[in-house]
Amino acid sequence: MQSHHILVVDDDAQIRRMLRRCLEDEGYRVSESSGEGIEAALRSGLDLVTLDLNLGHEDGLAIARRIRQQSDVPIIMITGKGDMIDRIVGLELGADDYIAKPFHLREVLARIRSVLRRSAGNAPTPADAGAIRFDGFVLDPARRSLAAPDGQAIELTSGEFDLLLLFARHAHAVLSRDRIMDLLKGHDWAPNDRSIDNQVARLRKLIETNTRNPKLIKTVRGAGYTFTPNSLD
């Protein structure tokens, strides 16, 4: 089996070498970048990008935006410990996870494994191989795709897809943020982690007619979220 191909983006050569050695020891194929040549790297085929947002010569958020314009490859942001605003903006741009500096290499490996697992998805079983239809949308677990009522494909990050699929499989149930994190597997979260809220906000922009008065993904004050389609099959 071909190993996963990971791009490490950091302007610190020492950090790139450290991450490269660690990942290669775990069997991953690794490329490096200081922030240049991202487009060429995407064309070469990538399974995941680790992206330091605090690049000295270029805005890491701008790079994340460029990546998302061309690819849905999973992105794990690496941020400073106190960079909460950049972290939130990065998640809104479509990043799948984040790691705060200073980090431990074992945490990096755990996050990468978790995101790759979510991105690949579990092999579909006969019970879940079929497409899920709700309010004109078609969510296909096997192809990991979402089609709008007019048939147009809607681009989702791997995290957004997994969250929408989770909602569809637990329709009309109220899911707390804790429960969502548990069901999405392996996310080591903190009480102020807003990644679920940010991904919900992004999903609403894609599937709701009115994000100020959502009909599909509703907030249950003090409890979490509930997915309430008019039709589901």
Query: Which residues in the chain are classed under CATH 1.10.10.10?
Result: 132-227
Confidence band (pLDDT; 50, 70, 90) for 86? confident
CA angle 73, 76, 24 (to 5 degrees): 85
Query: What are the helix (H) ranges across the chain?
Result: 13-25, 38-44, 60-70, 84-93, 105-120, 158-169, 177-184, 195-207
**Chain segment 158-176, per-residue pLDDT in tens:** 888 989 999 998 888 888 8
Which residues make up the CATH 3.40.50.2300 domain(s) of the chain? 5-120
Q: Band of the pLDDT at 193, cuts 50, 70, 90? A: low
Domain at 5-120: CATH architecture: 3-Layer(aba) Sandwich (3.40)
**What is the domain class of 132-227 according to CATH?**
mainly alpha
Q: What is the DSSP string of 188-215?
A: ---TT--HHHHHHHHHHHHH-S-TTS-S
Which pTM does this prediction carry?
A: 0.57
